[in-house]
Chain A
Amino acid sequence: MNSYEILGINENADEKQIRNAYLLAVKKYHPDRYKDNPLKDLAEEKLKQINMAYDEILVTAIENAIPQYKKEYSTTSRRKYEERAYTTYSNSGDGCCDCCCEIFCCGCC
């Protein structure tokens, strides 16, 4: 049984569905419900399995998200760098636009 089967959800389930299934399962096998039942130990074992399954799903989700995050982060930061560099370059007056030259011409171009 994989982690998704233990929680009774589809492998394509989103974060909210996973969380709901986890909370429902915890409520179902909570030791307080089984306090007068001779199968309390089995319920506890089941709860442990559920916690482990949920942890595994979370860890996998984070691991999958890291490369994507890195990619997004690098793309964003590169774009920001380029924008900043362009702005700096524009403000330096080196290669300024035509309209600037027309008004404040210093004889550079």
Chain B
Amino acid sequence: MLGYVKPFADELKVSEYKQYKMYYCSICKAMGKYTFVGRIMLAYDTVFLALLADEKVNTTHCKGCILCLHKCSYQHNSSISYSAAVNVILAYFKLKDSIADGNKLASLPKTALYLPYKKAANAEPLANTIIKSSLEAIFKLENESCLPQEAAEKFGEMCANLTMLAMQQKDETYQRVAKILAYYIGCWIYWIDAVEDFEKDIKKDRFNAIIMQMNIARQSRQAAMLFAKEQMQKALKQARLVLELLECKNYSIIENIIVYSLPFKTKKVLGREGIEYEFI
């Protein structure tokens, strides 16, 4: 469930693109504290987390990066370090989940990421607890054949709680707005991942929220997909409303992600299933 929350580059200004890239490179550099190879597991979602944290930045320029092979700008602050640690923890749990789903190839990188994960978990113990307990709760809910909305809400709560930890220095109103925004984006991620992985999951007989919906509500594939569309539309609509109450310096990039990128991704994924999606 990583990598869905990224900007829609076609609609970004050059300055915004540079700003986004700076955040991306900063988290990549900060991940170097835990692991070198693991930096390839950097996800766009944690960049969004750092963008939302909206902390003051002091930009520095490096002489050249080995991974992206060019001179990049980066910065250091607590939200960047936090996002890097969260990224390492999430990457480790993703590999663990892949192994549980029967992907034996994931066991090697998982072993390689074990020590970095421990380091990151020590650096951000609260984030580790939130991720671990939430993923366990989601796994339990899925095994108990719960309603897929409940699992999506639990995932949304996990995102909201992780966001709250990054906002320690912000005022109460900002924390509240960011938390609700992360919650709706979390719900959206759960559904989009279910729709995108539907084919693979049905072939390999793995858990999928759409299959769950088909079984519980005795719906056809098309009806379950339409249900997922409705859930995603609802989450995006609410996220857009929350966005209007957000006041931060990275607003334009966050707006680009919510107004263009997420609906575009929804349209693309649903389009493969033959379902039309209208931009709000």
Contacts and interface: CB of A to CB of B under 8 A. Distances in A.
B205 interface: no
Interface string B167-184: 000000100110010000
A42 B245 CA distance: 8
A38 B180 contact: yes
Interface string A26-51: 00110001101111001100100000
Contacts of A37: 180, 238, 241-242
Contacts, number: 24
B238 A43 contact: no
B245 A36 contact: no
B245 A46 contact: yes
Q: Which of A29, A36, A39, A42 has the most CB of B within 10 A?
A: A39
Contacts of A34: 241
B278 interface: no
Interface string A68-85: 000000000000000000
A23 B238 CA distance: 22
B243 to A, nearest CB: 11
Interface footprint category on A: 10 to 19
Interface string B197-221: 0000000000000000000000000
Contacts of B180: 37-39
A43 B177 CA distance: 11
A46 B247 CA distance: 12
B-side interface mostly:
helix
A32 to B, nearest CB: 11
Interface footprint category on B: under 10
Contacts of B176: 39, 42
A59 to B, nearest CB: 26
B10 interface: no
Contacts of A28: 244
A46 B244 CA distance: 10
A42 B173 CA distance: 8
Nearest to A46: B245
B242 A29 contact: no
A34 B241 CA distance: 7
Interface string A10-21: 000000000000
Nearest to B183: A38
Contacts of A29: 244
Q: Which of B176, B177, B241, B242 has the most CB of A within 10 A?
A: B241
Contacts of A36: 238
Given A39-B245, A43-B245, 18 more contacts: A28-B244, A29-B244, A36-B238, A37-B180, A37-B238, A37-B241, A37-B242, A38-B180, A39-B176, A39-B177, A39-B180, A39-B241, A39-B242, A42-B173, A42-B176, A43-B241, A43-B244, A46-B245
Closest 9 CB pairs of A and B: A37-B241, A42-B245, A38-B180, A37-B238, A39-B245, A39-B180, A39-B242, A28-B244, A34-B241
12 contacts: A29-B244, A36-B238, A37-B180, A38-B180, A39-B242, A39-B245, A42-B173, A42-B176, A42-B177, A42-B245, A43-B244, A43-B245
